[in-house]
Each structure stands twice: as C-alpha cells, then as structure tokens.
Amino acid sequence: MDALIEFGRGPLFRFAVAIALLGISRHAILSVIGFIRLRARVGDKRLAYGAIALNTLRRLNPLKYLVSSRWYYTVLSVAFHVGLILVPIFYLGHIRLWRSGLGFGWPALPGPVADVLSLITIVSAMLLLAARAWWKESRAISKAQDWLLPPLIAIAFLSGYLLAHPAQNPFDFSITMFVHVWVGDLLLLITPFTKIVHCTLLPFSQLVAEMAWRMVPGAGRDAVKTLGKEGQAI
C-alpha cells in the first residue's frame, strides 16, 4: 500500500499534473490560434474586444443566474466551485508538497477555512448529483461523466478532509491516503478529456460565441463544389 501511495504521490502525480497542464494549455493555445486563423478568413473582421471582455465577465458573474427559476442550482454550483478551485491550490498540506517538489510555495488558506470550504464542496457535489437525478431535464441530457465526476470529486475532498482530521477518520490512514492520492491523480488525468476542461475554455466562450455567426464568404458554395454538386438547380 505504501509503495502505491508513494507512486501516486510521486511519478503518477507528476505525470497527471503534466497531462492536465499540457492538455488544458493545448486547448487554450488551440482556442487562440483557431481564433486568429478564423478571423483572417471571415468577411466581417470588426470585433469589439472590450465588449467581449465585459460580456465574458458578466457571464461569469453568478449573480446574473440568480434571477431564474433555477437559482438554487446557481447557489449550489458556486458553493461547489469555490472550494474546488481554492482548496487543492491553497491548502497548506498541498503547498508543502509543491514546495518540496518545486522549491517554492505560496500563502495557504487558514486550516478552518479550508475545512469549511471542503465540506461545502462535498455537500454541494452530492446535492448537485441529487438535483441531476431529481430534475427530469437534467437526467435526460446527462452522460456518464455527468454522473461520475461529482462523486469522484466528493471522494477526493472527503478523503482529504479525513486525512487532515485523523481523529474523525473511521478508516485506515493508508487506505484514506491511497484513495485521496489516486482519485486526485485520476481527476487530473481526465481533466483535458472531460467537461472539467471548461476551466480553461470558459474564458473563450464569449469570443467563440461572437464568432459563431461570422461567415466565411463563399463557404457554402465551396462546400457544394467539394461535394461535386455545382450547377444543380435550387
């Protein structure tokens, strides 16, 4: 077990971080390159970058989504994401690990804050899952990853919380550590290939939406040529 934990904390972790970082960077770079290439081809090149940036911020503002019949979904989603983003990066135990590997660290969240955020993430992940199962609309459009990711994230956070509070941990320390490390690694590994990738694509969404109706002149006709259907009557 110890060897597995060490492997998970060492080579596998480094590999998982590399995959996650390379994967999300690839998406970010392709989003930028794709945009530059597309802009050169579209007919209408005028773009109000300021307005797009403002729109991006507006869309990221969760308050915008509170005035809807699904306001509770927004509350849950925000609660879920705050801990999800902050705890893995700013939890003291994680920073120590980073420091030992990278040689530098950064300020940590106070322990009780990290605890509360972790618990909120765990509870909201489970409530989001319950909501997905409850609403027939969400059920109808859900795929495997939509069902699997919230429990996986909850397990990673719960095991982390129990490791930080050994007195409350009913499980064996090594098993808890194994689960925490390996589930954490798994989440990093699948980041670029699942919907978690929205962490890097979301800032591009309004730019992409802005390009959604920017036609390339002649595209329809060129497609018809490729299909060998030129000259066909309408």
Partner 1 sequence: MRPVKNIKIKYHQEPSPPMNRPQKFLEAFAAMLKHSHYGYILDHFARIGTKCARCAVACPVHEATGRPEDIPCYRSELLLRVYRRHFTLEGRLQARIFGAPPLSDEDIDTMAEAFYRCTACRRCNFECPMGIDHGMITHLGRHILSEIGVVPKALHVSVREQLAGKTGNTSAIPLPALLDTLSFLEEELREQFNKEIKFPVDVEGAEYVFFAPVSDYLLEPDTLMGQAAVFFATGDSWTIGTGNYDGINYGLFYNDRFLEDIIKRELAEVRRLKGKKILIGECGHASRAAKVFVPAYGGEDAPPVINIIEYTCQAMESGKVRLRPDVIKERVTYHDPCNIARSGWIVDQPRKILRSFIKDFVEMEPHGCNNYCCGGGSGTVSVDEIRAFRTSIGGAKKAEQLRATGAQYVVAPCANCKKQLREVIEDHKLDMEVIGLHDLVLKAIAL
Q: Is 1 or 60 the residue whose CB approaches partner 1 more closely?
A: 60
Among 3, 100, 226, 231, binds partner 1 (CB under 8 A): 226
On whether the CB atoms of residues 226 and 220 are closer than 8 A, the answer is: no
Which x/- pattern, by CB under 8 A, does the window 200-219 give for partner 1? -xx-xxx-xx-xxxxxxxxx
Dihedral of CA 33/37/40/43: which sign? negative
Q: What is the 3-state secondary structure (H, E, C) of 85-125?
A: HHHHHHCHHHHHHHHHHHCCCCCCCCHHHHHHHHHHHHHHH
Alpha carbon 234 to chain centroid, angstroms: 46
Nearest approach, Cβ of residue 99 and partner 1 (Å): 33
Q: Is 172 or 222 the residue whose CB approaches partner 1 more closely?
A: 222
- Identify the CA nearest to 150 among candidates 170, 116, 122, 120: 122
Nearest approach, Cβ of residue 227 and partner 1 (Å): 5
Q: Is 96 or 225 the residue whose CB approaches partner 1 more closely?
A: 225
Which x/- pattern, by CB under 8 A, does the window 77-116 give for partner 1? x---------------------------------------
Tokens of 189: 């590994």
Nearest approach, Cβ of residue 215 and partner 1 (Å): 5
Q: Is 44 in the site for partner 1 (CB under 8 A)?
A: yes
On whether the CB atoms of residues 90 and 106 are closer than 8 A, the answer is: yes
> Which residue matches tokens 């998982």?
16
Select the span of 84-92, 115-123, 180-188, 199-207 touching partner 1 (CB under 8 A).
Answer: 199-207
Among 2, 3, 40, 46, binds partner 1 (CB under 8 A): 46
